[in-house]
Amino acid sequence: MPDQQRSPVQDAFVQYQPDAARRPFQLNGGGRGNAAAQDALRGRTGQAGGDKAAADKGIDWELVESIADQLVAMVPREMRDGSREHILAILRQAALKGVRNSNQVAYLLATAEHESRFGHPQFSWGEPLVEEGNPIRKRRNGRWSGKVHIKNRWVSGKTKDEAEQKYWDALYGGKLGNKRGTSDAADYRGRGYVQITGKANYRKMSKVLAKEGFTYEHDGVKYGGRDGEPIDLVAHPEHVNEVPDLAARILVDGAMDGLFRNRSLDRYVNLDDDEDTFATKNNFYDARRVINADTKKNGRKIADAARRYAQTLLLQWPMIFPEAAARTISTGRVGGR
C-alpha cells in the first residue's frame, strides 16, 4: 500500500494511497470486473534487458513454471482464477533480479495479493490492477455524483467523466506531482501489483526501468532498450496495469531496492529458512514498512499470506538458480546449505 507521508529524502520513491483508498468498503465475494480488461492482460510480457545475462546463466525456467502452478493453490479462492499469470510474472522478475531468498519472494507475492488481489476487482465496475473507488451514478437532476471514500464528501459533475475526475482529484490532487484540477489524480491513481500512485512516481519509475535496461511489449510495440520506444509511464500509465511483467518489475525493484520508503526488503527478510529459523528470524510483520506505514493495520494479514507462500517456495525456489542446484548435487542438501 502506498504511504501517506513523504520521505525526508526529497527524491525518494514514495507512494500515497491509504488502505481505505483501495478498499472503499468490504463486500463478500466482490465483482470480477471488466472481462475485456482481464483479457487485455493476456500475452503482454516484459523482461529486463539489463538482466539478459542472468537469463542466460541457466535459470531453470521449467521449474519456475512448476512452482507457479503449485502456488496457485495457495491463493485465496476468490482470487485464484487467472492468478497464475500474475504469480508467474512476479516469479519471473524476481528470478531475473536475482532474488535468491525464497522468503523475500513469498513476501513479494503476499504484497501483490493484498494490494491487487491478483487482478480481481472487488466491485463489478472495477478494472484489474487499478485502484477502485465508489461508483459514480447519474441522479434524477441529470448530474453525476459519487461519495469519495475516506474523504466522506460528495463530488458531482455534468458528465460522468467530470465527476470521476473530481472524485480522484479530491483524493490525490496536488499530491505526488499531480496538478490539482486536472486528470492527473485519476490517471496516476494506484495501478499494478503494488498500486504505484502519483505522477511523480510514474516518472521516477520510468527512469529507473530505462536505466536498468528493462524492456516490455504492449500491443505489439516494444518499449525500452536500444531499439525500443522510450519507457514513459507518464504518457502511458495504463501499461502498469496491462503488462504483468511491467507491474511485477515495479514491485520487485521497489521492494528490493528500497524505492518506496527508503527501506529494502532485505532489512526485514534476510535469512534462508530451515526448521529452526523459519518462525523467528524473518520479520514478515515489520516488512510491511517497506511498502507502507500501515503495519499495525495490515502487517499481520500480509505476514500470514507470506508464510502461506513461503511453505511452497522454501525447498524449490533456490533450485531455479544453477549454483544452488550444483551445490545440492555436491553436498546432498537443498541449495547446499
42 or 28, greater pLDDT: 42
Range name among 7-16, 35-44, 219-228 with the lowest pLDDT average: 7-16
The pLDDT score that the predictor gives to residue 322 is 86
- Determine the average pLDDT of the residues in 187-209: 97
Instruction: Report pTM.
Output: 0.81
How confident is the model at residue 282, as a pLDDT? 86
Average pLDDT of the chain is 83
- The answer to whether 337 touches 274, Cβ cutoff 8 Å, is yes
Percent of the chain topping pLDDT 70: 76
pLDDT at 162 over 60: yes
Query: What are the CA-CA distances from residue 72 to residues 53, 85, 118, 129, 304 (Å)?
Result: 29, 10, 11, 18, 16
Range in 141-145, 187-191, 271-275 the model is least confident about: 271-275
Residue-wise DSSP of 79-112: HHTTHHHHHHHHHHHHHHHT---HHHHHHHHHHH
Question: For position 327, what pLDDT does the model report?
Answer: 57
**Tell me, what amino acid is at 135?**
P
| Tens-digit pLDDT profile for residues 314-333 | 999 999 998 765 555 555 44
pLDDT digits (tens, 9 = 90+) for 67-108: 999 999 999 999 999 999 999 999 999 999 999 999 999 999
User: Quick one: the chain helix, strand, coil %, rounded to 5?
Assistant: 50, 10, 45
Please report the pLDDT score of residue 48 as a whole number. 53
Cell numbers at 335, concatenated: 541449495
Provide, rounded to the nearest whole percent, the portion of the chain with pLDDT above 90. 72
In this predicted structure, what is the pLDDT of residue 44? Answer: 53
Label residue 187 by pLDDT band (50, 70, 90): very high
- 189: nearest Cα among 154, 228, 156, 150: 150
Encoded amino acid at 222, one letter = K
In this prediction, residue 323 carries a pLDDT of: 77
User: Which pLDDT value is given to residue 62?
Assistant: 96
Mind listing the pLDDT tens digit for each residue in 240-261? 999 999 999 999 999 999 999 9
Q: Could you tell me the maximum CA-CA distance found in the chain, to the nearest angstrom?
A: 77
Nearest-5° Cα angle at 284, 208 to 275 = 120
Per-position DSSP letters for 136-200, written without gaps between them:
PEE-TTS-EEEEETTTTEEEEESSHHHHHHHHHHHHHTTSTTPPTTSSHHHHTSSBTTTTB-SHH
pLDDT value of residue 337: 38
pLDDT-based confidence at 198, cuts 50/70/90? very high
The distance of Cα 53 from the centroid of its chain, to the nearest Å, equals 25
